[in-house]
């Protein structure tokens, strides 16, 4: 098991390195320097600015200096917000995005998982059709459409919930979390239904039933572990999707999280900010994929036996 974990960690390092390198050179390849737009800047000031941001050095030296900074956990300064470092911006945005993502994931797992399991217990009945049709709607309804529609219905027409903000008014966290979580609840429902159906037709489930275990015990103790494997494997990629979804949800509901910083940085062409957040978010995604791989391997008895040999 440890060999597998360490092996996976070693695989993740080149990926992160590729991400950093590709992002760095892509951002540098962008036309126009960051201070070209401000025509009024006198040459001396511009030179001083460029020295401050190390733009006067040759490209490869900039790159190695940047790598050095990253090693010390320093993501660099922001071009657009002078005096604020990207670390500070991430520190202020990350908790918000993490909270939003956690609620969304919780909704996805609880709502999606429960309805998927219920559907698998009575396949081809209403108990299966209704949640699965809803899941299809969830998959086909993009986040950026669901969000505004929810706002229109519950925020404006019915006036039940606040339409924007995060933690200012009670209840304002509900709509963003549902908006972000809905599509994932749909995927989780489909995956857990398929996984449970597969597991419940296995011989060991028949054995468990044959020895007289009550149905709930069969499902929870014997079925769940194998049946939830596809969901666990999905969590890694889902994390990346949740982050991208948070760009949209934070924009719609005006939430001061990482996603909105990223979109704003993209609009402002704040290159150091884009570079810093890309590196940060990518590393996070790679690590999450790693984690979900490891958990999936640990949950899979066959794979685990193979690994512990």
Partner 1 sequence: MTDTTLQAEKGTSLWEDAWRRLKKNKLALFGLGLLSSFVVIALLTPWIAPYAYDAQNLDLGATPPSAAHWLGTDIFGRDLLTQIMYGGRISLAVGFVATAVALLIGVSWGAIAGYLGGRVDAVMMRIVDILYALPFMIFIVLLMVVFGRNLLLLFLAIGAVEWLTMARIMRGQVQSLRKQEFVEAAISLGLAPATIIRRHLVPNALGPIIVYTTLTIPSVMLLEAFLSFLGLGIQPPKTSWGLLISYGAETMEEYPWLLIFPGLALTLTLFALNFLGDGLRDALDVRRSAD
Q: Decide if residue 6 touches partner 1 (CB under 8 A).
A: no
Name the 3-class secondary structure at 85: strand
Assess 13 for contact with partner 1 (CB under 8 A). Answer: no
Q: Does 12 bind partner 1 (CB under 8 A)?
A: yes
Q: What burial letters (b/e) apply to 204-221, b meaning 16+ CB within 10 Å?
A: ebeebeeeeeeeeebbee
- 248 scored as a contact of partner 1 (CB under 8 A): yes
Paired tokens of 275: 């570079």
140 binds partner 1 (CB under 8 A): yes
94 binds partner 1 (CB under 8 A): no
Among residues 98, 139, 291, 295, the one that binds partner 1 under rule CB under 8 A: 139
65 binds partner 1 (CB under 8 A): no
Cβ-count burial 245-275 (b if 16+ within 10 Å, e if not): bbbbbbbbbebebbbbbbeebeeeebbbbbb
Distances (CA, A) of 49 to 30, 64, 76: 19, 20, 14
List, as own/partner pairs, every contact residues 168-176 make where C-beta atoms lie below 8 angstroms and the sequence separation is at least 24, other chains included.
172/253, 173/99, 173/100, 173/103, 175/147, 175/150, 175/151, 175/253, 176/100, 176/147, 176/249, 176/250, 176/252, 176/253, 176/255
Q: Is 18 in the site for partner 1 (CB under 8 A)?
A: yes
Return the residue of 94, 244, 295, 299 that touches partner 1, per CB under 8 A: 244
149 lies in the binding site for partner 1 (CB under 8 A): yes
**Which letter does DSSP use for residue 77 in this model?**
B
37 binds partner 1 (CB under 8 A): no
What is the H or E stretch that residue 112 is in? none
**Which of 48, 59, 67, 136 is close enough to bind partner 1 by CB under 8 A?**
136
Structure-block tokens of residue 188? 């989780």
- Please identify, using beta-carbon distances, which residue of 42 and 201 lies nearer to partner 1: 201
Nearer Cβ to partner 1, position 127 or 264?
264
Give residue 291's Cα distance to chain centre. 13
Residue with tokens 């098991």: 1
Q: Is 22 in the site for partner 1 (CB under 8 A)?
A: yes
Of 57-65, 77-85, 164-172, 275-283, which segment contacts partner 1 by CB under 8 A?
A: 275-283
243 binds partner 1 (CB under 8 A): yes
Q: Is 32 in the site for partner 1 (CB under 8 A)?
A: no
Residue 195 to residues 9, 50, 200, 234, 306, Cα–Cα distance (Å): 28, 56, 9, 12, 21
Nearer to partner 1, 45 or 149 (CB): 149
Q: Which of 119, 151, 196, 219 binds partner 1 (CB under 8 A)?
A: 151
> Does residue 59 interact with partner 1 by CB under 8 A?
no
The residues of the shown chain that bind partner 1, judged by CB under 8 A, are 11-12, 14-15, 18-19, 22-23, 26-27, 29-30, 136, 139-145, 147-149, 151-152, 156, 194, 240-241, 243-244, 247-248, 251-252, 262-263, 266-267, 269, 274, 278, 281-282, 285-286, 289
């Amino acid at each position: 098991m440890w060999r597998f974990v360490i092996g996976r960690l070693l695989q993740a390092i080149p990926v992160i390195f590729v991400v950093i390198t590709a992002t760095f050179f892509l951002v540098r390849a962008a036309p126009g320097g960051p201070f070209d737009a401000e025509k009024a800047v006198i040459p001396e000031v511009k030179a001083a600015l460029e020295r401050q941001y190390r733009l006067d050095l040759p490209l490869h030296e900039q790159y190695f200096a940047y790598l050095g900074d990253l090693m010390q956990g320093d993501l660099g300064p922001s071009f657009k917000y002078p005096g604020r470092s990207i670390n500070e911006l991430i520190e202020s945005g990350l908790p918000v995005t993490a909270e939003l993502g956690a609620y969304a994931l919780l909704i996805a797992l609880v709502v999606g998982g429960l309805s998927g399991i219920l559907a698998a217990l009575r396949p081809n009945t209403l108990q299966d059709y209704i949640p699965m049709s809803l899941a299809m709607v969830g998959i086909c309804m993009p986040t950026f459409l669901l969000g505004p529609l929810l706002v229109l219905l519950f925020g404006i027409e019915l006036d039940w919930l606040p339409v924007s903000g995060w933690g200012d008014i009670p209840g304002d966290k509900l709509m963003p979390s549902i908006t972000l979580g809905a599509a994932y609840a749909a995927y989780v429902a489909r995956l857990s239904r398929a996984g449970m159906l597969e597991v419940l037709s296995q011989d060991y489930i028949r054995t468990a039933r044959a020895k007289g275990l009550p149905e709930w015990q069969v499902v929870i103790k014997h079925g769940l572990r194998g049946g939830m494997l596809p969901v666990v494997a999905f969590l890694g990629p889902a994390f990346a999707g949740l982050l991208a979804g948070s760009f949209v949800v934070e924009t719609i509901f005006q939430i001061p999280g990482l996603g909105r910083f990223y979109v704003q940085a993209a609009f402002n062409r704040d290159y150091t900010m884009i570079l810093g957040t890309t590196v940060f978010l990518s590393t996070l995604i790679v690590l999450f994929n790693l984690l979900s791989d490891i958990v999936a391997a640990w949950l899979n008895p066959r794979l685990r036996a193979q690994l512990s040999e």
